[in-house]
A and B are shown apart, each in its own frame.
Chain A
Amino acid sequence: MTRIKTTYNRRSFLKSSLAAGGGLLIGFNWLASGCSTNAPKGLVIPEEWFEINAYLKIGDNGVTTIFSPNPEIGQNVKTSMPMIVAEELDIDWKNVLVEQAPLNTKKYTRQLAGGSDSIRTTFTALRMAGASARLMLLTAAAQAWDVSVDELTTEDGIIFHKSSGKEAGYGKFASAASEIAVPEEVDLKDLGDFKIIGHSQKNVDGLKIVTGKPLFGLDYKVDGMLTAMIVHPPAFGLKLKSFDAAEVKSMPGIKDVFAINVYNDDYSRQWSDTTSFTELVAIVGNTTWEVWTAKLMLNAEWEPFDVQNYKAAGWGGDSRDVTVPGGLESSSNHRKKIIAEASKDARVVRRDGNPEEAFKKAAKIIERTYTAPFLAHSPMEPMNFFADVKEDNATLVGPIQSPEPMQKTIAERLGLPVENVEVQMTRMGGGFGRRLYGHFMAEVAVISQKMKAPVKLVYTREDEMTFGIYRPMYHAVYRAALDADNKLIGFHVKMGGIPQNALHANRFPAGAIDNYLAESWSVDSNISVGAFRAPGSNFNAAAEQSFLDELTEVMGVDSIQFRLDLLKRAQENPVGENNDYDAARYAGVLEDIREKSGWNTNSEGKNRGVAAYFCHRSYVAQVVDIVLENGEPKVDHVYSSVDCGIVINPDAARNMSEGSVVDGIGTAMYGEITFNNGEPEQSNFDGYRLIRHAEAPKKIDTYFIENDIHPTGLGEPPYPPVMAALANALYKATGTRYYHQPFIKNTFEV
């Protein structure tokens, strides 16, 4: 047991008026469809609930509702976060109901789905919520039985007083516990005593998902709700000139057609307000198909802009002026610009030893160039949101990764106090970073305000894929200096991109090489970009880990042993000071994957590649095996070894890692957005290729390093390295090195 003070956002543990029903969706007919609870078969819903704190309420029969604070995007936090609370509450998981909490910045810690940080940043608060509730129940029981709290024990929601033989379920003391003061200190379980954490539990929404219950934003409905769609400029570099509302206004089911300004001119944008298109045409009507039909008929004219200026506060910093260049950009020009820029001097971000000297005296220099294109996140559920804006308050419901900053955006845009803007999160049909940028919330809020009615905004797939906020276009040149004995004596990485680069200068192999240089550059663009699953890393890992593979081939050393030797150096005698990885944990996953994949014993005759990477505070090593079927390479087997600290829900964690593997292979093989005169050339899944069933690996094995380290990221870390393991395995299978994504093209032609 560990005794800790309940200082962590103490307000969370005070009784909240958060609402009997969890504040969720009460009064809407959406509820009638059976979404209010996920009661498993046989569970008796209590007649009376007692709220213990913002995270849980206990019923008179002991059944407990746990509120999952963070947005659920498919990372399974709606199951794993309540598991953490239930563990410390010491209740039988079978007696737990789960509800999604609404946004409540006073009660909860960091309600954001991003950075693979949901569990890491809330783990302690969730444990404390369960532990303090348990102690309050014990205190109530001790008072009733006139014994000391120390004499009481619990198991699966039952309180025992061993010496007297008394026992009672939590339900019996829930009412009294809800009146007890929040304890100053609580005991947390030892890791070895965990009965729920570390034991696989099924997705709490599993039954609803397979029966098609309305869970997602697009499924949300209220009486009298209108449907809206937007029309945005067809190309980056264009803005709205004029449009003919009259023609489509008279179409069946259409209520109104008008232009909207998403943000006010003097508004200082937050990081989550990214958009290229602030002036849009809104079409509002009764049903999706009527509005869509009208949208297709709308005649709008667009004109190029010379330059666009706005204010941005970024990540909580001071407001600064942002200038977006005009012009209609094309991919061929992007490539030309990149080649020109890459040959210029760049910004030195990290320099250890004397890299210039090392390259000067090198017996051999290996230099390779890697590139990756713009990508569209393409979550399966297109962007959408619901808003009901009244004179003095607003309710917004839908799929959003960043409800907290968006609440502020909406409040400011509507001129309402932030506390009068309620944000409720539905389950999200994916996001991958796209739903960190909630411009669509501002859009629907403005539309609802104008219509004086509840409105659901629906993006078509084409709207979404051509709207921007892409993964940037990346370029990297890696150089290695070898001495006459083929020893690595210098390392140089120069990373660039449009409009951002992917450099993480303090990551491996920084710290392991005496002479190291990391530089970066970028080129402005009017194409908007945003965080995309494992930002930066999703290119770094692919490039760096492919380069290391090629290096080991030239050096004539084993790929895994080479990395381990470098990591040993970084561990024992690190170069520089700001190395942001733990070399021992990094080596740990490599050693594990070497054993699990049989790298030294079972590689004969296999086309296999290895890669390892550190991001989001976690370590992943992967081995990919490729077979040739009728001469075509096919991914047969993927092994992943993952160190993300304590694993909350093992089978769901495996699922997450398997998904990252599939996604990583798909991204590297097929993903690409290109432009012609500012216009994205892919607008749906006929042009933008996502990985499909037949292209997925036949088998994926995932291993977690067992340790007692505070949980770190999992949604993103297994995604980047598999791209390099794939490239390295493809080389073995085909004799071709893969430098340029998408690998099906493997070119970077101007």
Chain B
Amino acid sequence: MAVYTLKINKKEYQVDVDPSTPMLWVLRDHLNLLGTKYGCGIAQCGACTIHLDGRAVRSCITFVDSVGDKEITTIEGLSENGDHPVQQAWIEHDVAQCGYCQSGQIMSATALLNANPSPTDEEIETAMNGNICRCGTYTRIKAAIKTAAKS
């Protein structure tokens, strides 16, 4: 076990965990930040996507020991009340079916738009291809990203 000070959503947290613990479980089990989801544990589905210094990473394979002083953003830190343009676009297009993968989708989409404010269809597909939606809401996700890009 080791004590880590983590910068998450502009706040500081201290956790005492095994160095091999993935950030996913630090967030979910130790900090009650439950918006980051477990889907596969091997970086194949994207449900656990968070931002590390603004870049989308899979928290299921990001060990707490590797984070250092990098800034973490989770879905809870995206906005105060769900008014981030990407979140608003998701609501406008009523994207979700079961909804489980959507926080990961939103985190990937946000990272994409931060780096590339007006992505082409192909760029969206490439950036989002690591995020599985089992319900098949892909066309709405793409439409929502385009709407968010406009705002």
Contact = CB atoms under 8 A, between A and B. Distances in A.
Contacts of A200: 94
Given A290-B18, A380-B47, A685 B139 contact: no
A317 interface: no
Contacts of B76: 211-212
B52 interface: no
A383 to B, nearest CB: 12
Contact of B40 (A287, A461, A697): A461
Interface in B129-145: 129-142
B100 A381 contact: yes
A380 B136 contact: no
Interface string B113-151: 000000001001110111111111111111000000000
A184 to B, nearest CB: 39
A430 B38 CA distance: 13
Nearest to B144: A210
B136 A213 contact: no
Interface in B15-67: 17-18, 20-22, 25, 28-30, 32-42, 44-45, 47
Contacts of A656: 97
B35 A211 contact: yes
A692 B133 CA distance: 7
B135 A693 contact: no
Interface string A187-210: 000000000000010110111011
Contacts of B36: 212
A252 B136 contact: no
Interface in B59-84: 74-76, 78-79, 81-82
Which of A213, A378, A690, A693: most chain B Cβ within 10 A?
A693
A428 B134 CA distance: 12
A39 to B, nearest CB: 12
Interface string A204-226: 01110111111110110100000
A203 B121 CA distance: 26
A427 B37 CA distance: 14
A202 B91 contact: yes
B6 interface: no
A656 B97 CA distance: 7
Given A461-B39, A662-B139, A693 B129 contact: yes
Contact of A693 (B21, B37, B102, B131): B131
Contact of A215 (B29, B81, B87, B99): B99
A203 B98 CA distance: 10
B2 interface: no
Interface string A38-82: 000000000000000000000000000000000001111000000
B91 A430 contact: no
A210 B98 contact: no
B44 A686 contact: yes
Given A658-B137, A658-B139, A660-B136, A381 B98 contact: yes
Contact of B139 (A227, A252, A697): A697
A167 interface: no
Contacts of A210: 75, 82, 87, 90-91, 96, 102-103, 106
A206 B94 contact: yes
Nearest to A696: B138
B6 to A, nearest CB: 15
Contacts of A227: 29
Which of B87, B126, B135: most chain A Cβ within 10 A?
B135
Chain A interface residue bracket vs B: 35 or more
Interface residues of B, number: 64
Contacts of A663: 134-136
A288 B29 contact: yes
A702 to B, nearest CB: 11
Contacts of B101: 380, 429
A684 interface: yes
A431 B99 CA distance: 12
Given A287-B25, A461-B39, A684 B134 contact: no
Contacts of B97: 74-76, 430, 655-656, 659
A227 B45 CA distance: 23
A475 B127 CA distance: 38
Contact of B140 (A288, A430, A658, A690): A658
Contacts of A205: 96, 99
A690 B28 contact: no
B42 A685 contact: yes
A74 B98 contact: yes
A666 B87 CA distance: 27
A460 interface: yes
Contacts of B138: 662, 691-693, 696
B40 A694 contact: no
B68 to A, nearest CB: 19
A652 interface: yes
A699 interface: yes
Given A461-B39, A662-B139, A693-B142, A73 B94 contact: no
Given A221-B34, A658-B136, 10 more contacts: A74-B98, A74-B99, A218-B38, A380-B39, A380-B98, A685-B45, A685-B132, A692-B129, A693-B138, A698-B139
Interface of B: 1, 17-18, 20-22, 25, 28-30, 32-42, 44-45, 47, 74-76, 78-79, 81-82, 87, 90-91, 94-103, 106, 121, 124-126, 128-142
Interface of A: 33, 73-76, 200, 202-203, 205-207, 209-216, 218-219, 221, 227, 252, 287-290, 293, 378-382, 427-432, 460-461, 651-652, 655-656, 658-663, 666, 684-686, 690-694, 696-700
